[in-house]
Structure 1
Amino acid sequence: MQDLSTYKVILRKVVRRKGFVLGKSIALNRVDVALMDDGSIRVIFDRRADYFRKGVPLNTSSLLRGESEMGRAIKWMRTQEADYITEELPEVFA
């Protein structure tokens, strides 16, 4: 996956992940809040191929600044995407 800010490939591994299916979104299939092996928290976006032009990365991420706790980051994501969430997936630990 690529970082949206730098377009560099992220080589960190996901340690813990909470996913949300965005069935009401026209641009995204899913969004995950992920705790990485370096302790950072990232938001991982799975984009809809039919919405973005060809060649645009469909699996991207962004560093979630200001959040250092996974639980608070998950609550924040629920609030941000409340209008689009159709399913909340169980939390997965790697």
Structure 2
Amino acid sequence: MQDLSTYKVILNKVVRRKGFILGKSIALARVDVALMDDGSMRVIFDRRSDYFREGVPLRVSSILRGESEMPRAIKWMRAKEADYITAELPEVSAR
């Protein structure tokens, strides 16, 4: 997975994640709010291969600035992607 702002590969591991299936989106298949092992909160995007040109990374992420608590970040994502969400996946912990 690459960081959208730096295009560097992210090596941190996901500790907790909450996923949303974006069945109504033409560009994204899924988005996850993830707490990483370094304490950062990230949004992980799974892009649709038929929408993006060949060679573009299909799994990318960005730091979720201003949100350091999982429940608030999930609520923010739910509101942001409300028009596209078709399913909400259970929260998963890696520990």
Same fold at TM > 0.5: yes
- Aligned AA for 1:38? D
Which runs of structure 2 are paired with 1:58-77 in the superposition (5 Å)? 58-77=58-77
Q: Aligned runs of 1:52-91 on 2, under 5 Å?
A: 52-91=52-91
Residue 80 of structure 1: how far off its partner (Å):
0.1
- Give the C-alpha shift of residue 31 in structure 1: 0.1
Count of residue pairs the alignment pairs up: 94
Computed over aligned residues only, the root mean square deviation of the Cα atoms, in angstroms, reads: 0.3
Q: Any idea what the Cα deviations from partners look like across 1:59-94, whole Å, max 9, x if unmatched? A: 000000011111100000000000000000000000
Which structure 2 residue ranges, 5 or more long, are not aligned? none
Name the residue aligned to 2:28: 28
Deviations 1:29-58 (A, max 9, x none): 000000000110000000000000000000
Q: Secondary structure at the match of 1:7?
A: coil
Give the letter aligned to residue 44 of structure 1. I
- Of all paired residues, the percent bearing the same amino acid is 85
User: Residues 1-53 of structure 1, C-alpha deviation per residue, up to 9 Å, x if partnerless?
Assistant: 00000000000000000000000000000000000001100000000000000
TM-score w.r.t. structure 1 length?
0.99
Per the normalisation by structure 2, the TM-score is: 0.98
Q: Which consecutive residues of structure 1, in runs of 5 or more, have no partner in the other structure?
A: none
SS of 2:44 mapped into structure 1? strand
Whole-Å separation in 1 of the counterparts to 2:25 and 2:60: 16
How far apart, CA to CA, are the structure 2 residues paired with 1:41 and 1:87?
21
